[in-house]
């Protein structure tokens, strides 16, 4: 049963290009399936989350992270009475616009674009992917996703100003997104916060003691795990502690969002949209602990000396390749050379690089920039 403030598929604003209904899948299910079958979705398997395969091939990549976000999101959506099919589609598409090399690649690509008075934003790039780059249908370009999924791509993690982005005016930028969309940024935080602790310890870049010292939510959970399993190896005590961190974050998000919705007295999607702030949120205490955990990860993992070399390599590779194609656009594939007749060359190069996997961009770097 859907809550009265959930998005109902029969009330969807529909697709840009009308299509006949499917006999046994609703429109949000079809969106989910189109995303899963997209080339850009498959490429996430070979894009870095935090650790490259130099460390191991069993750490999270951008695709496995996305699957974890989808699992968490469906669980929470079901508890809140939200539309789980829409939530799953939004979770599966939320990272589809990320370039290779994780956040280091995104930073380098944005820096390259800003030298030409432009910028790179992975949410806006994701919209370009589903609206234009994916070519699977004879009747239209892109995936022809419903308005609600396209809106969620733009608004799940960021509020854009219509004065700065008039091209996005159709996405109701002056209003909040539905709760289904609001959830995604928070479930993304849960997924990568716990997963990066796990992978960081497995990579021997973080110790259990270091994590407990730097994260209150982990320290209390790990202490409880040690009480319950005093004779277990520390690795399994760590797993039990991390499981409790995960459960604490998920349970708090469910309980606090439910309480905020009740206090706000919202009874429709329109009420959610017109509320002055986002209603999906952690409680203040848990939000403080989540921020502490995030700060710990930035200080001790993401910007650690151990990963600095890979970040520098990523930024150098993206920057040098971008500059090469700016100077020699004839080295671009023919389809991108043709695009540059209608779009700015920096944007075309940006689109090309953003779609690459880690292995492919290495190949291109060796081909064009290798000494």
User: Would you say residue 371 has pLDDT above 70?
Assistant: no
Instruction: Select from 180, 5, 227 the least CA-distant residue to 86.
Output: 180
Find the radius of gyration of the CA atoms of the chain: 22
When pLDDT is averaged across residues 111-122 and rounded to a whole number, the result is: 96
Q: For the chain, which residues make up each domain, given as ranges?
A: 15-299, 309-368
Distance (Å, whole) CA 349 – CA 323: 9
When pLDDT is averaged across residues 239-250 and rounded to a whole number, the result is: 97
pLDDT tens-digit profile of 6-60? 999 999 999 999 999 999 999 999 999 999 999 999 999 999 888 876 666 678 9
pLDDT tens-digit profile of 52-77? 766 666 789 999 999 999 999 999 99
Architecture of domain 15-299: Orthogonal Bundle (1.10)
pLDDT tens-digit profile of 154-207? 999 989 999 999 999 999 999 999 999 999 999 999 999 999 999 999 999 999
Residue 309, SS3? helix
Structure tokens at 213: 């010292």
Query: H/E element holding 212?
Result: helix 208-214
| Predicted model pTM | 0.95
pLDDT tens-digit profile of 307-342? 888 889 999 999 999 999 999 999 999 999 999 999
């Amino acid at each position: 049963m859907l809550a009265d403030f959930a998005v109902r598929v029969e009330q969807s604003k529909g697709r840009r290009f009308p299509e006949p209904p499917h006999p046994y899948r609703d429109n949000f299910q079809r969106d989910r399936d189109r995303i899963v079958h997209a080339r850009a979705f498959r490429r996430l398997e070979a894009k870095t989350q935090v650790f490259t395969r130099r460390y191991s091939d069993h750490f999270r990549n951008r695709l496995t992270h996305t699957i974890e976000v989808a699992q968490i999101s469906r669980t929470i959506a079901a508890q809140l009475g939200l539309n789980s099919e829409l939530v799953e589609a939004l979770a599966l598409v939320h990272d589809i616009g990320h370039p290779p090399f994780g956040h280091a690649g995104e930073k380098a690509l944005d820096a390259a674009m800003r030298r030409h008075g432009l910028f790179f934003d992975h949410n806006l790039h994701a919209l370009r992917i589903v609206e234009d780059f994916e070519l699977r249908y004879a009747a239209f370009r892109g995936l022809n996703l419903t308005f609600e999924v396209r809106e969620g791509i733009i608004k799940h993690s960021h509020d854009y100003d219509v004065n700065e982005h008039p091209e996005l005016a159709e996405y109701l930028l002056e209003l909040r997104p539905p709760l289904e969309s609001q959830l995604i940024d928070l479930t993304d935080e849960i997924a990568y916060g716990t997963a990066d602790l796990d992978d960081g310890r497995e990579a021997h870049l973080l110790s259990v003691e270091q994590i407990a010292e730097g994260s209150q939510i982990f320290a209390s959970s790990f202490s409880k795990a040690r009480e319950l399993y005093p004779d277990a190896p520390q690795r399994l005590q760590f797993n039990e502690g991390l499981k409790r961190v995960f459960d604490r974050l998920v349970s708090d998000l469910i309980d606090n969002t439910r309480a905020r919705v009740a206090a706000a007295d919202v009874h429709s999607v329109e009420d959610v949209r017109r509320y002055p702030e986002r209603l999906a949120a952690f409680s203040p205490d848990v939000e403080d602990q989540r921020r502490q955990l995030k700060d710990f990860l930035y200080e001790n993992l993401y910007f650690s000396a151990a990963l600095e070399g890979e970040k520098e390599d990523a930024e150098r590779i993206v920057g040098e390749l971008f500059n090469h194609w700016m100077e020699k656009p004839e080295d671009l594939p023919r389809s991108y050379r043709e695009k540059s007749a209608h779009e700015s060359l920096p944007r075309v190069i940006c689109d090309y690089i953003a779609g690459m996997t880690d292995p492919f961009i290495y190949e291109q770097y060796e081909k064009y920039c290798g000494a």
